[in-house]
Structure 1
Amino acid sequence: MDPRAQVESLLRPDLRGRTAYGAPQLEVPVALNTNESSYPVPEVVASAMARAVAQVARDLNRYPDREFTALRADLAAYLSRGGVSVAPEQVWAGNGSNEVLLHLLQAFGGPGRTALGFTPAYSMHPVITTTTGTTWVDGMRGVPGAGRFDLDVATARAQVREHRPDVVFLCSPNNPTGTALGLDVVEAVYEATTGLVVVDEAYAEFARPGTPSALTLLPGRPRLVVTRTMSKAFALAGGRLGYLAGDPAVLDALRLVRMPYHLSTPTQTLARTALAHADLMLETVGVVKDQRDRIVAELTAMGLSPVPSDANFVLFGGLADAHATWEALLERGVLVRDVGIPHYLRVTAGTPTETTAFLDALAALVPTHAGAAP
């Protein structure tokens, strides 16, 4: 038996034949496929990070603070800037929000338990769910007469009551659609289940004015958690720092499943330095939002069907063959994301120059690539 077949025979049956997650990492002039920030870390912050890491480097013979106490205080202070009160004992963090989600499923999912999400949504939700032995339930979006990607109270509540999941995932703003949820949907889902409700707010900083955060719903709801990340608005994708806010009892449960000392000293140091320069790190958010709205306006003018977005990306439809358009854009040096929704692609809002390159390339393709109903 060849080595691959031998390993395959040892693999968990539910993982056999699966394909690993991963967006294409290609060297192209304009990369707009993974919702990263196109802007580098400001030089003054990068220098501060280098100094801070140098200061702790001599102590790397010691384990990091297992409770990342100072980082939790800084994250709580940052969240509290938005008009809500979040205490350090309500904050948890991991190496990217994916690890935070993994901790939640390790603690509250597992064999014999189910997790429900509303498709299309973040593709890692079902991946992380199944790797923990939890059964994934594919809930559906779409409200007749309102919009293909909307999720309303009645639709969400009915599916939660039908499937009775142990964990419910809500995504606001949603990836890949960019649409935000009303708090009434979160409240209805919470009331309809006895399980954990996870609101993934990875793109919250890009939301349009007046878009509410589920952080405001945390008081009195111990089964509600809100996850965030520093990968997007903070332009710290390479730093790998995700976090959540929730009841201290939830954090106690997560301590049972996390690996010892899971957040390295350099990771904690980089994140704290970024938070100390939050205003500067977030200066590009407004520029990105302008480019996002520009994409929506110009794609509409081209006759395509962009979805109004509260994130740093735009999902757009009206393509006869989405993958063919993806390939044609790639040939022109522009990499976007094929998210597997027929007739739709997703593009990250980049710099003004990158946005122009994308729009020019797509405009040249529209005459031969458009034509499908949104």
Structure 2
Amino acid sequence: MKIAILTMGTQGDVQPFAILGQALKKRGHQVTLSTAKNFAALVKSYDIEFLPIEADFQEFMNSEEGKKMMKNPFRAKKNLRVWVYPMIYNSMKIFYKLSKESDRVIFHVKTMGDYFADQFPDKMIKANVIPAIEYTTEFINPVFSALPIPSFLNRLSYKLSDLGISMMMKPVNEFRKSEGLSLKFKKPTLPSIYGISETYLSKPKDYSVSTHFTGFWTTTSNIELDKDLIDFITRGTPPLLITFGSMTFETKMDLPTAIENLSNELNVRVIVVKGWGFNSTKRLDENPNIKVIKSAPYDKLFPLVKAVINHGGIGTVSACLIAGKPFFTCPVLYPLGDQYFWGYIGFKKGIALRPIALKNLTERMLIDNAQALLSTETLYTNSLEMSKKIKSENGVERAIELIEENQR
């Protein structure tokens, strides 16, 4: 089949889809992944066709306008016309053209593929890694999980996502008008797949039978760890790893100083995966007990470390789960965003500490939680047990089976 994969967002919204696309290509399908142009190198590294969108969601999220919108998306209307509306309109034009030319379309909800799916519903499949759209009573909308919303309002919390999407209808209507499509339409009911492990989060009983949690969409990286990184790791006991993702972030402490003091006080070596939030790491670069890197394949790196302090992105959390490493989540997106949600599940399952937003974290809190993370034996026992269960799953294979069903 000729398969189109449509996605938008940050790296956590793109990489799982690229992994899925690579596996589909190996099955003999013709695959084109369309997303923002800044992910060209990432997508091409998975040896699949790439159709760029003239939009950079990650750049927008890291801009002052994007930060304001994340803090309060319902009061960011002035940014919509300048930043968001053109991005949606232009991307939908490209997504729609590719979809018309394809036999099967796998789309992330952020692409607004729902709003042209009525034209060919039989070939459209929703695909996501965050269950933030489909209503359920079993857990709160992950995007709002850090807010003090009582559990009896779980189902209602998903209406907040609908409100956010309703703010985007102007470019949607402009797109449909430009393509000669009726402005009066109904979004079709579509099958849905999630790159989520049921070992970590059970599929809600009130979800549709056509909704599936397949397991995480992961693969073995073909990139090896740098020799100097391996040398650092093997020079002593397994180090603590710290990463806060690729987005900029706010913190009340001097993070390099806090990490250095953590290393000294706990007598632990540290690997820091540098994100955009680290303005300067010069003092860390000069510390022989701390190794700062720009990036590394997590499937190769995580098995070699002791534990992980991270931002709570599902890609990073899944890497911890597969490697059997306990973690402490410090959400960068807070109180809105799904990072707290994934970290809190880990806490409830006894494989992680209770999440604390990075912007609320003090140096003392960071050090104390790092000490607890490194010394609580039950975290390690539980993490290894969960790793065994998750490794027995094959999320990519299951997703492909569902995609290939009822081929035409």
**TM-score for both structures, normalised by structure 2:** 0.24
**TM-score for both structures, normalised by structure 1:** 0.26
Task: Identify, as 1 or 2, the structure richer in helix.
Answer: 2
Higher relative contact order (CA closer than 8 Å, sequence separation 6+): 1
